[in-house]
Amino acid sequence: MEELLKATGQTAFPVAVAAFLLVRMESRMEALTRAIGELQAILTRGCLLGGGPIREATGEAPPRSVRGEGG
């Protein structure tokens, strides 16, 4: 009986800490997942629209057309 209590006492603390950390990290993981989704949407819109939002944020000029330049 004493051995059972001792074994339970030795494993209960690590299990409790692991459960606490899993619960706490879940909300952070959800927030990061949302942020990644938002960034993906911004990048997709930027690629489809010629880099508009991305270029505005970085201050880059749009690329020049290669065809129109005398050559």
Task: Return the minimum-mean-pLDDT range out of 17-21, 31-35, 48-52.
Answer: 48-52
- 53 CB-near residues (< 8 Å, 6+ apart): 42, 45, 46
Mean pLDDT score, 9-36: 92
Residue ranges of domains in the chain: 26-59
The residue type of 47 is C
How far are the Cα atoms of 46, 64, 66 from residue 69, in angstroms, in the given order? 25, 9, 6
Asked whether the predicted pLDDT for residue 70 surpasses 70, the reply is: no
Is the whole-model pTM more than 0.85?
no
Instruction: Tell which residue, 32, 54, 30, 50, has the closest CA to residue 42.
Output: 54
Which secondary structure element, helix H or strand E, spans residue 70, and what is its range?
none
Strands (E), the chain: none
